[in-house]
């Protein structure tokens, strides 16, 4: 079994709207293992590093201001193909293009308030996990559910 990890952040709108438990439940019920979680109010420096590829874009200042507007629940999930499947659980970045049954399809309307962020590749997952978590904040543990999830 692949022990791939992904970074999923519940953004300030998701936290403020009380959607944290519903987001966590979608990943848990799918069979993914939570190996890191914390509530954080990110700094401007952290967000600039996280969104480095968007620094020159016109929406960047508004994005940073929004992401600093309240707490974020930062999580790391582990399991087979969790990056691709995590993106499927979240739905399209634009909630109006997200299918019902996805987090964004069920809980969001505007792209600027799309509830969650999810890593889009192994490289970005590794970079984002290392930005948001110290190594000692991630827990390696054996799930007793694994034989019921993986063949």
pLDDT digits (tens, 9 = 90+) for 33-85: 999 999 999 999 999 999 999 999 999 999 999 999 999 999 999 999 999 99
The binding site for ATP comprises 11, 59, 87, 93, 104, 114
* β-pair partners for 76: 7, 36
Helical spans, DSSP H, in the chain: 12-16, 20-30, 44-50, 60-67, 82-90, 103-107, 122-132, 146-149
Q: Say whether 50 is catalytic.
A: no
**3-state secondary structure (DSSP) of residue 36:** strand
Among 48, 50, 54, 117, the active-site one is: 117
Q: Is the pLDDT of residue 105 over 60?
A: yes
The binding site comprises 11, 59, 87, 93, 104, 114
Q: What CATH class is the domain 5-143?
A: alpha beta
What is the pTM assigned to this prediction?
Answer: 0.95
Q: Is the pLDDT of residue 1 over 50?
A: no
Contacts of 54 (CB under 8 A, 6+ apart): 60, 63
Stated as kind and residue range, the H or E segment containing 149 is helix 146-149
């Amino acid at each position: 079994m692949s022990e791939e990890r992904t970074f999923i952040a519940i953004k300030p709108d998701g936290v403020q709207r009380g959607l944290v438990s519903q987001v966590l439940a979608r990943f848990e019920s799918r069979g993914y293992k939570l190996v890191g979680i914390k509530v954080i109010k990110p700094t401007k420096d952290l967000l600039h590093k996280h969104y480095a590829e968007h620094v020159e874009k016109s929406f960047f200042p508004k994005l940073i201001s929004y992401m600093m507007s309240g707490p974020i629940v930062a999580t790391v999930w582990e399991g087979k193909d969790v990056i691709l499947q995590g993106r499927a659980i979240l739905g399209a970045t634009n909630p109006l293009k997200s299918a019902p049954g996805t987090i964004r399809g069920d809980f969001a309307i505007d792209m600027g308030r799309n509830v969650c962020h999810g890593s889009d590749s192994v490289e970005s997952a590794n970079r984002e996990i290392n930005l948001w978590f110290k190594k000692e904040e991630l827990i390696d543990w054996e799930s007793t559910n694994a034989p019921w999830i993986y063949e």
